[in-house]
Amino acid sequence: MNKTVYILNGPACAGKRIWGLILRTMLSVPVVNVGNLLRDAQNMGLLSPAISDAMDAGYLLDSDAIWAFLQPALNKVDGQSFILDGYPRKPEQVEKIIEWCGMRGYAIRYLLLEQSREKTAFRVNIRQKAGTNLVIRKDDAPESIAVRYNEFEKYTRSVGDIFRENPPKDFAMVTLNIDQIELVSKFLVEIFDARPNDEINRIQDETANFTA
């Protein structure tokens, strides 16, 4: 059976949640969301005060600390294709996920969602004012969003370059932004071998407030 990990990455409010919904709907695969794993650990008091404060402020956490929470979640989906939202975000994490996938025969599909600093601030403002059903977190504060974008520029943007410079055996990468969501069907059919269905129209409608 062919197994693929579909990696979603990008700055805050770049559309990872929406693309995750689209991929999950079209591919019928589970999602491993690193941010949710860490927030669950935070809510259960499993993070130290220093790590918890750093996360709320928008900083990327230590790679070993993240892997300690991520590895058990990966083991639960081992053997099936899945979406990985928010990892790797630092250069040293690329080798880790390539090694994990390589040992288990996974192909890797990497989707980088691009977005400017100004567009990020705009979408955060829209999300906070539009009355959406999204939870507004501490790291959605303007000062935290600025830190999160700086962290993306400092660390995460280079992740795609590392993949391209030394690609795994079965690897493909595409860069898009949420304003190009109308290309979703063509993109997914050609790159992810997925098939669109009626549910995609509903998900695309959800994005209206974020693509202005």
d(CA 51, CA 49): 6
Kindly report the average pLDDT of the chain as a whole number.
81
pLDDT of residue 195: 52
Residue segments in the chain with a per-residue pLDDT below the cut of 70: 1, 124-137, 178-212
pLDDT at 169: 86
pLDDT at 188: 54
**Complete domains list, the chain, with CATH:** 3-210 (3.40.50.300)
Q: How far apart are CA 142 and CA 163, in angstroms?
A: 31
Specify the pLDDT at position 134: 53
pLDDT for 207:
42
Of 201, 170, 197, give the one whose Cα is nearest residue 6: 170
pTM of the predicted protein model = 0.80
Q: What is the pLDDT of residue 184?
A: 53
pLDDT of residue 211: 32
The per-residue pLDDT for 121 is: 74
Which pLDDT does position 208 carry in this prediction?
39
| pLDDT at position 190 | 54
Rounded alpha-carbon distances, angstroms, from residue 138 to 10, 55, 58: 19, 9, 9
Q: Specify which residues 3 forms β-bridges with.
A: 106
61-96 per-position pLDDT tens digit:
999 999 999 999 999 999 999 999 999 999 999 999
Provide the pLDDT for residue 174: 84
